[in-house]
Amino acid sequence: MRLLVASSIGTIVEWYDFAIFAVCAALVFNTAFFPVSDPLAGLLAALATQAVGFVARPLGGWFFGALGDRIGRKRSLVASLLLMGGSTVAMGLLPTYAQVGALAPILLVVLRLLQGFAVGGESTGALVIVAESLPARQRGLWTGFPMVGGPAGNVLATAAIGAALGFFGQAAFADWAWRLPFLASAVLILFGFWVRRRVEESPAFIEVQKNRHDVPRAPLREALAGHPSDMARVLFVKAAESALFYLFSSFFIVLATVYLAASRSDALNALFWGSLLEVAAILAAGAAADRFGRRPVTLVGLVTGVMAAFYLFTLGKGASSAELTTATLLTLSCHGVIVGGMSAYFTELFPARVRYTAMSTAYSAAAVLGGAMAPVIGTWLLEVFHTPLAVGIYAAVMVVPGIWAMVTTRETRGTDLLQ
């Protein structure tokens, strides 16, 4: 139980940090850090800064993955948590463009790069230590717990931002109160650090350490040489999942407030309830993957995710709060099915000696391919074609390779992770 709490709280903290940046990029940063005469240009610049964080993720995935394969999963996870938390708190202290000019967006980009570097090894590291430490029979369910960090982070982020908006008002929030959710993450970071320091190292890594000749000298080179096809499968499935996640969360805020003319509070409420339901969907899908297999559950999530995308992206202007909430409940629950199916699957593709590195590298590169530019591309498509349907087609294109990867893969349920 301690391990589940430690893995979950760490990913929740890190994705809370990522989520508050994503929401503020759509609501505040376009004016606070990129004040240009064209509102669309300012919004695109802010969303591009969000995308910058993804650029550092493959490097972070390689760094923390190699660190985890060489000195331990636990130490790597503690280090990533502290780096992520420190850069997020620093964002809450940044001066704006009005105060220091061009230095403000530069500092924001630097901190965003540090955020991306840190998160590169977080989700995969938490997955690895949980998968290697808990009983294999319910591995799908257990690995679902660290993966609730994404939607749970969204729940906390939207709650924190919604509270700040409600208490201080939109004018004060845009002026200074947006900083409070960033600063509040310090409390979560300290708790996450305390919990993670108390967990034990995974049995699989301890076994590798007992045989010192099994510790890889160059984990990435070995992973690329020995497991390229499986790394490609992780890349395609994760890219599909990431594209849907950021279209259903970050871009959803833009879609709702800019195109559908909904209020910020309605958009945030919809995202809050959708993210809350996704937590349950991830755990339920993980349990289903233990019963029916990783392949069928992940495939169901990918196919229904595309169908849900077309539902969301055919909403018309003036959509009601109920319609927004219904769409978000549908899209994020389908996304949760993908996550619940793929989590254990990824850990079961690779041997223990290079598992962290192989997963983290492919996983982080996929996040760049699928998630980095999804909100920017979505916003651009909306501006060019004047219809969200174009975004739905883009989502489908991103998901097709992931479906192919799962159709052609082997079933991994029951794999021995000590090997």
pTM here? 0.82
> Which range among 128-132, 294-298, 362-366 has the greatest average pLDDT?
294-298
Residue 412 inside a domain? The answer is: no
Kindly state the average pLDDT of the residues 215-235: 86
Kindly state the average pLDDT of the residues 404-417: 92
Query: Which pLDDT tens digit goes with each residue over 43-98?
Result: 666 667 767 777 788 888 888 888 888 777 788 888 888 888 888 899 999 998 88
Residue 373 inside a domain? The answer is: yes
Provide the residue range defining the domain that includes 58.
2-407
The CATH number of the domain where 306 resides is what? 1.20.1250.20
Instruction: For residues 101 and 216, give the distance between their C-alpha atoms in angstroms, rounded to a whole number.
Output: 47
Burial of 197 per CB tally in 10 Å (0-12, 13-18, 19+): exposed
Residue 403 inside a domain? The answer is: yes
Residue 242, φ and ψ in degrees, nearest 5: -65, -45
Query: Residue 156 has what pLDDT?
Result: 87
Helices (H) and strands (E) in the chain, counts: 21, 0
Average pLDDT, the chain: 86
Query: Which pLDDT tens digit goes with each residue over 142-179?
Result: 988 888 877 888 788 888 888 998 899 888 988 899 99
For residue 308, pLDDT over 60 is answered with yes
Residue 242 inside a domain? The answer is: yes
Query: Residue 410 has what pLDDT?
Result: 92
The one-character DSSP state at 351 is -
Q: Which two tokens stand for residue 343?
A: 């989590």
Residue 287 inside a domain? The answer is: yes
For residue 271, pLDDT over 60 is answered with yes
- Give how many domains the chain has, as a whole number: 1
Kindly state the average pLDDT of the residues 126-153: 85
| 410 or 213, higher pLDDT | 410
Given pLDDT bands bounded at 50, 70 and 90, which one contains residue 270?
very high
| 267 or 7, higher pLDDT | 267
CA 125 to the chain's CA centroid: 13
Query: Residue 6 has what pLDDT?
Result: 72
For residue 41, pLDDT over 70 is answered with no
The one-character DSSP state at 138 is G
Q: Which residue has the tokens 């060489």?
A: 70
Residue 38 inside a domain? The answer is: yes
Q: How far are the Cα atoms of 78, 169, 186, 287 from residue 270, in angstroms, in the given order?
A: 33, 19, 26, 26
Query: Residue 38 has what pLDDT?
Result: 61
Q: How far are the Cα atoms of 44, 57, 230, 372, 404 from residue 362, in angstroms, in the given order?
A: 27, 10, 9, 14, 17
Instruction: For residues 238 and 244, give the distance between their C-alpha atoms in angstroms, rounded to a whole number.
Output: 10
Residue 29 inside a domain? The answer is: yes
193: enclosing H helix or E strand: helix 179-196
Residue 386 inside a domain? The answer is: yes
Please tell me whether residue 350 adopts helix, strand or coil conformation: coil
**Count of beta carbons in the 10 Å neighbourhood of residue 200:** 12
CB 53 within 8 A of CB 21: yes
Query: Which pLDDT tens digit goes with each residue over 76-91?
Result: 888 888 888 888 899 9
For residue 126, pLDDT over 70 is answered with yes
